[in-house]
Structure 1
């Protein structure tokens, strides 16, 4: 069954139905656009929420950063940021795959429908024009036939009139004959026009209009199929990111299971242990002894009466819940409890050693650079490095002095009268140093490799500047097209080098073995940093 056969006389209905179908597509496109805006606003609000609560992992300087509950909270916030990225991806795919595609297809359907309706109008106008010609020839035939009948009756009447001359009779007969001939021609013309109109009418109703109606039917069916695909895409777009959203939710669950209450308790103890002993029993103070003092005893110096003794002992009382005034911060951290003072001195000493190692590396680099200038004057003036070398030497002397000072304070805090010694080869090419603990054993603490020495370009081989060293590797869990500017495509299972970590925006910078670099969604890969 088709429209051309079953709906041959329902042109207005077909025109209205096809227009209604196109309006439905427009309505669906608007619906998806509004859903996209909701997703974008939702993702934006989640991004802002994550940014608001994403406290930086400041490490040692942040007291709460060592708590597992704190780190898990940051993991939850980061997973929520990744989740927001998936909502943005849903919005982007809805816009690209449905809104833009359907809008373009809708314009094509409108143009095609307009063309078919114009063809129908032309066929209708052609048939109407032929009908007008038929009606005109019919009326002419009617008019001429009546005129021929009238002239024939007049000729017969003239012939029977005894008073009419022969010339009048002949003239009337000729006039009747001429009118009869004209009427016959009009009759033939009318018959020809009628035959032509019937032929065009048959062509119109059995060929032209059914063909146009069937084209409109095909257009409408294609419109329905395309709309059905849009409905399916609406669901598939979100279903495709469900695995990644599931990963985000699994990450939040993992963050909860990673919380270790016992570990957090130990961290609280480690961070806040004072090292003081608990206060002992308060001794009995016998005021009667002061009354029985001999004059010889009291004459030896200023007598210490009962109130003096009481005031001295009261100052030693320790009240657990008393408010403590904020102590004045001192350079040697004596304002801190013993245990905390020792830790702060160790941290400060490590910082000084790291800075000193950097200055040593810089001094070596300047020395190499000076040698290069002396051997190759065209590359630079060795005298231009004098100020930098002098400044570096001053920094090294200052840091060395600070190191000795803090070593002495640390030895004092550890309860030793001797300063803390470092090996003679403390500062080596690796930038690491060995610390002898209070018991003379080697400490496990070591300083990580410092930043590359400046002026590295003046090495013996004069190598070109290298690419940024990767900080780890990542494995693609999902494929990514990388269609946007600045991104890079990847296939599931592909291993890439991580060049730059995610800075909170949901993107990680990576590099292929062939040197291509770009950004990929952090949630699409499993990252293993060095």
Structure 2
């Protein structure tokens, strides 16, 4: 059914004006709705991205890539980030393709509506003016007719009463006045007829020509506005549908990640990671205390039994007599004595062997730093300090002897695989250099073959070093390790740093029987040195000693004369010869 505002609503100009104004207000409201929705989508995308970044691992951890539930969570976070990207794309499409276009179109509709209603008002004003002119001519014709009628009545009455000459003259004048009024009424009638015809013509043109055209234009404008709202809604839904396939794929990946979680595999992986390889402890032997104590025990055997009993008992470690750990921790911290001007013993006779009391670092301060951790980590820290290595720095012996057998085997095997990869890369580089040298030898204009010799020599030395390191690690990997745990269980955490939490003075074990720290080189004494304070070692000129710990920057080097005599000597008094492998190990420990 077709209808036209020009014919159906010819008398509803004011209502049409209100309706079109409300339609434009709705268009502005819908534009604002699209903008706010785009802002919400953008804010949602930012929050999702921030959430994904917050829970994403800050650094690459081996545990994150080892367990399936960690991998599934990482995949979920990655897909959430992709969802945020799609939401940002949706917000951009809503802003650029819909909201901006609606804003521009709203201004165009306002301008067009203003033009149409101005034309309608001008046509309405014209018909009103024509109507006023008709009313004016009508009133004038009515007035002139009444005046002509009164003048005629006066003239007739005078004619009836005509008796004298004076009265005759009045009667003639009255007839002339009546004739004039009659002529004026006739002219007014003609003017009224003309105005009436003009008004009828204008009214017909207004309601059958002007109003239909103007109202039809307004109707077309309203239909275009509604159609534009329809297109905006369709575009909004299309923009949403456009990101749905990607969102669906992200959700599918999340579902696949969740289905890929394998609890059995994760629990087996825990065994692979933490299995120590130690055998469980054996049965505890029965100790018979019911037998009466023999009083004929010799004093020497009594003392031996007492010493043996103390070895297996728990002792307060700060009060252990002649504990080697105290000697280790009381290493000299004062500046070492300067080297003498001559290698004679008199050169060091006046050298300071002990610092002034104000410059000595108290032993209690160093022990407090050590004892501010828990019992479990304190035992590990003390064992590592006994070996001359700091767990806080994450270093360990080159042969990984500080690890349990199973973990040691895996660590060495990983190291062997890495060395094989480095050897393969060095060989490929060597082959490339050899081919380049052959090309240079055949075509000297391309380059100097002799310029490649330093690089070839460097690669050769690197290969030799890697081969030696490979053989050493293979030998360590083939060597059997003890299957017995020193404490009945092994819970050393070799990947995390020590966190000092609480103070305690109770010691869990006696480390007098720990194996000595491995030697990293040798040294030769240049001057004699008398170690008078605790922790130092005396030496004579020209004596050869084993280096067990390099100078840490305080001017002292830890050396060993035999398995029993060990201490610190001034670094300036000796000449150190470190092994090649020990240099790399010490440098890597410092870097860590």
Query: Partners of 1:375 and 1:179 in 2: how far apart?
Result: 137
Secondary structure of residue in 2 paired with 1:84? helix
Pair 1:340 & 2:407 matched: yes
C-alpha deviation, 1:163, in angstroms: 5.8
User: Against the structure 1 CA distance between its residues 334 and 189, is the aligned structure 2 distance closer, same or farther, given a 3 Å change threshold?
Assistant: same
C-alpha deviation, 1:66, in angstroms: 0.8
C-alpha deviation, 1:252, in angstroms: 2.3
Pair 1:413 & 2:497 matched: no
Q: How does 1:339-358 map to 2 (within 5 A)?
A: 339-358=406-425
Q: Deviations along 1:105-132, whole A, 9 cap, x unmatched?
A: 4344333322321221221132234335
Secondary structure of residue in 2 paired with 1:199? helix
User: Against the structure 1 CA distance between its residues 396 and 259, is the aligned structure 2 distance closer, same or farther, given a 3 Å change threshold?
Assistant: farther
Pair 1:361 & 2:428 matched: yes
Structure 2 unaligned blocks of 5 or more = 315-374, 390-395, 482-592
Range 31-40 or range 350-359, more displaced: 350-359
Structure 1 unaligned blocks of 5 or more = 316-320, 418-530
TM-score (norm 1): 0.61
| Partner residue in 1 for 2:118 | 118
| Partner residue in 1 for 2:507 | none
Q: Is the 8 A contact 1:290 1:305 kept in 2?
A: no
User: Against the structure 1 CA distance between its residues 311 and 203, is the aligned structure 2 distance closer, same or farther, given a 3 Å change threshold?
Assistant: same
| Partner residue in 2 for 1:73 | 73
Pair 1:325 & 2:327 matched: no
User: Against the structure 1 CA distance between its residues 396 and 50, is the aligned structure 2 distance closer, same or farther, given a 3 Å change threshold?
Assistant: farther
Q: Is the 8 A contact 1:43 1:84 kept in 2?
A: yes
Query: Partners of 2:122 and 2:103 in 1: how far apart?
Result: 29
Secondary structure of residue in 1 paired with 2:380? coil
Q: Is the 8 A contact 2:65 2:71 kept in 1?
A: yes
Range 178-187 or range 341-350, more displaced: 178-187
Range 209-218 or range 194-203, more displaced: 209-218
Query: Partners of 1:182 and 1:377 in 2: how far apart?
Result: 131
- Equivalent in 50, 53, 58 of residue 52 of structure 2: 50
Query: Partners of 1:244 and 1:26 in 2: how far apart?
Result: 32
Q: Is the 8 A contact 1:332 1:406 kept in 2?
A: no
Q: Is the 8 A contact 2:275 2:407 kept in 1?
A: yes
Q: Is the 8 A contact 1:37 1:91 kept in 2?
A: yes
Query: Partners of 2:175 and 2:250 in 1: how far apart?
Result: 109
Q: How does 1:94-173 map to 2 (within 5 A)?
A: 94-96=94-96, 98-135=98-135, 137-138=137-138, 162=165
| Partner residue in 1 for 2:208 | 206
Q: Which one has the largest radius of gyration?
A: 2
Query: Partners of 1:165 and 1:378 in 2: how far apart?
Result: 151
Q: Deviations along 1:472-497, whole A, 9 cap, x unmatched?
A: xxxxxxxxxxxxxxxxxxxxxxxxxx
User: Against the structure 1 CA distance between its residues 294 and 143, is the aligned structure 2 distance closer, same or farther, given a 3 Å change threshold?
Assistant: closer
Query: Partners of 1:374 and 1:150 in 2: how far apart?
Result: 143
TM-score (norm 2): 0.56
User: Against the structure 1 CA distance between its residues 305 and 137, is the aligned structure 2 distance closer, same or farther, given a 3 Å change threshold?
Assistant: same
C-alpha deviation, 1:67, in angstroms: 0.7
C-alpha deviation, 1:195, in angstroms: 0.7
- Number of residue pairs the alignment of both structures matches: 400
CA RMSD between the two structures:
4.5
User: Against the structure 1 CA distance between its residues 263 and 286, is the aligned structure 2 distance closer, same or farther, given a 3 Å change threshold?
Assistant: same
Q: How does 1:497-516 map to 2 (within 5 A)?
A: none
C-alpha deviation, 1:356, in angstroms: 3.5
| Partner residue in 1 for 2:21 | 19
C-alpha deviation, 1:354, in angstroms: 2.5
Query: Partners of 1:82 and 1:245 in 2: how far apart?
Result: 8
The one of the two structures with greater contact order (alpha-carbon pairs below 8 A, sep at least 6) is 2
| Partner residue in 1 for 2:306 | 307
